[in-house]
């Protein structure tokens, strides 16, 4: 079946450095992707999304890159801060009524 997965389950990054979180997807027909952030004890929060007709989209301190050729999605966080410590999920629109989520990457920011 279709799946959305993250390359690494954990990522440790020094405060102030840039973070890159990767995600591979298998459904070449997916046309919409989302990144969520989940802090401890909370529900997932929307970070940024991208449609398949785009290669890059920028938000506040975050950039999402989409490479449809290799079915790869990445989230870049600039100048990582302690508040960025969380689990990050990528998700793809599997059909009109469903999102499929990856297993998540836990980001830990070192002071």
Partner 1 sequence: EAQVTQNPRYLITVTGKKLTVTCSQNMNHEYMSWYRQDPGLGLRQIYYSMNVEVTDKGDVPEGYKVSRKEKRNFPLILESPSPNQTSLYFCASSPSTLINRREYFGPGTRLTVT
Residues that bind partner 1 (CB under 8 A): 9, 32, 34, 36, 41-46, 49, 51, 89, 91, 93, 96-99, 101-104
Least distance from partner 1 to the Cβ atom of residue 50, Å = 12
- Cross-strand bridge partners of residue 21: 75
As given in the structure block, the two tokens for residue 55 are: 């290669």
Nearer to partner 1, 12 or 32 (CB): 32
CB of 3 to partner 1, least distance (A): 10
The nearer residue to partner 1, 69 or 98, going by C-beta atoms, is 98
b/e per residue 28-43 (b: at least 16 CB within 10 A): eebeebbbbbeeeeee
Pairing of strands 4-6, 19-25: antiparallel
Smallest CA-to-CA distance from 107 within 38, 55, 26, 43 is with 38
Q: Which is nearer to partner 1, 41 or 83 (CB)?
A: 41
* Residue 93 C-beta: closest distance to partner 1, Å: 5
């Amino acid at each position: 079946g279709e799946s959305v997965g993250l390359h690494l389950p954990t990522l440790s990054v020094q405060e102030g450095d840039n973070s890159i979180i990767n995600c591979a997807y298998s459904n070449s027909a997916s046309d919409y992707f989302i990144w969520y952030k989940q802090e401890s004890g909370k529900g997932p929060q929307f970070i940024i999304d991208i449609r398949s007709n785009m290669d890059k989209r920028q938000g506040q301190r975050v950039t999402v890159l989409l490479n449809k050729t290799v079915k790869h999605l990445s989230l870049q966080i600039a100048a990582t801060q302690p508040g960025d410590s969380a689990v990050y999920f990528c998700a793809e629109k599997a059909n009109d009524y469903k999102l499929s989520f990856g297993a998540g990457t836990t980001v830990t920011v070192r002071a």
